[in-house]
């Protein structure tokens, strides 16, 4: 069975780009959210195997969403997605329980390597 992934980013373009990469590499995108509030609701509903989570989003940012998801499911696999220049947020996210991070702009192989690392642990 394919691993299911939920994409969380306020950019429709970024969600579409990630979805294409993941689908091409035999992953199933089970849900998409544009902010942390939606992410938490959809995580509860779909229980994806992995979440990619943007840091800067409206309503609830990625760090708050990370903490909320992990509070409900400490085993959740979450990869943060961040623009260059947000290294302090990345360190915070990794300390809070994110499994890995992907820096925007990214290459397909970086995305797949980060996801594969998450599924190895």
Domains of the chain, each with CATH number or no CATH: 4-84+91-100 (3.40.50.2300)
Q: Between vectors from CA 67 to CA 63 and to CA 71, what angle results, nearest 5°?
A: 170
Enter the tokens of residue 8.
């969380």
- Residue pair 62/17 in contact (Cβ under 8 Å)? The answer is no
| Each residue's pLDDT tens digit, 20-74 | 999 999 999 999 999 999 999 999 999 999 999 998 888 989 999 999 999 999 9
pLDDT at 1: 58
Instruction: Find residue 4's DSSP bridge partners.
Output: 28
- Residue pair 26/2 in contact (Cβ under 8 Å)? The answer is yes
Task: List the 100-104 sheet strands across, edge first.
Answer: 28-33, 4-8, 50-54, 78-83, 100-104
Instruction: Name the 3-class secondary structure at 65.
Output: helix
């Amino acid at each position: 069975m394919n691993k299911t992934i939920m994409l969380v980013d306020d950019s429709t373009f970024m969600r579409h780009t990630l979805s294409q990469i993941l689908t091409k590499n035999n992953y199933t995108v089970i849900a998409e959210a544009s902010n942390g509030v939606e992410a938490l609701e959809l995580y509860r509903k779909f229980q994806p195997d992995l979440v990619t989570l943007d840091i800067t989003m409206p309503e609830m940012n990625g760090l708050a969403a990370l903490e909320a998801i992990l509070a409900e499911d400490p085993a959740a696999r979450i990869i943060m997605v961040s623009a260059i220049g947000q290294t302090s947020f990345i360190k915070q996210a990794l300390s809070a329980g994110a499994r890995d991070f992907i820096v925007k702009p990214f290459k397909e192989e970086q995305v797949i390597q980060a996801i594969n690392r998450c599924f190895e642990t």
